[in-house]
Amino acid sequence: MLSNKYTQWLERLTVGLLLLTIFNVFINVILRYVFNNSSIALQEMEWHLFSALFLLGIAYTLQKDTHVRVDIFYTKFSIKKQALINLIGFALFVLPISLLIIYYGVEFAYSAYVINEKSGDPGGLTHLFIIKSIIPISFILLIISGTLFAKDNYERLK
């Protein structure tokens, strides 16, 4: 039940970011080609939203078991062997890399906050710590997704 609510929340989050990204691109196109104007802040927001969508979507794809893997071999294995591979993959790859990225990502975002980092472009975005904070947040969510994924796979081993 908790897993379903978490998955639904991740889905709403990623769909919301996708809709915001589409809306932002639409506004940029209208400004540029209809009004012959552009906004650096909106252009930067475009790639910030895409980055957030991509980073937060990682946890969602793992939770939905739609992440990338070598399916040419994996699909031929028994369900128990697939579950064992998933557990080993989480323990050896997902968890250590996520912890490492969280460790360095928090410092990365905090440094941007302390110095009040802004875009180098005139008219660009301020408060870059917000997008930089998405890095550790996304990997915290990935660990949560991975833990739920590992729990489901552990039950498949029984």
Q: How confident is the model at residue 49 (pLDDT cuts 50, 70, 90)?
A: very high
Range name among 49-58, 62-71, 117-126, 147-156 with the lowest pLDDT average: 62-71
Span 14-37, average pLDDT = 91
Domain that holds residue 73: 2-157
Give the pLDDT of residue 1.
Answer: 60
Classify residue 113 by burial, with Cβ atoms within 10 Å: 0-12, 13-18, 19+.
Answer: middle
Q: What is the pTM of this model?
A: 0.85
> What is the C-alpha to C-alpha distance for residues 45 and 108, in angstroms, rounded to an integer?
19
Q: How confident is the model at residue 74 (pLDDT cuts 50, 70, 90)?
A: confident
Number of domains observed in the structure of the chain: 1
Q: What Cα–Cα distance (Å) separates residue 70 from each residue in 75, 86, 127?
A: 9, 12, 39
Give the pLDDT of residue 124.
Answer: 79
Span 151-158, average pLDDT = 85
pLDDT tens for 100-152 read 999 999 999 999 999 988 888 888 788 889 999 999 999 999 999 999 989 98
> What is the C-alpha to C-alpha distance for residues 108 and 90, in angstroms, rounded to an integer?
25
pLDDT tens for 79-98 read 898 888 889 989 999 999 99
Give the pLDDT of residue 2.
Answer: 65
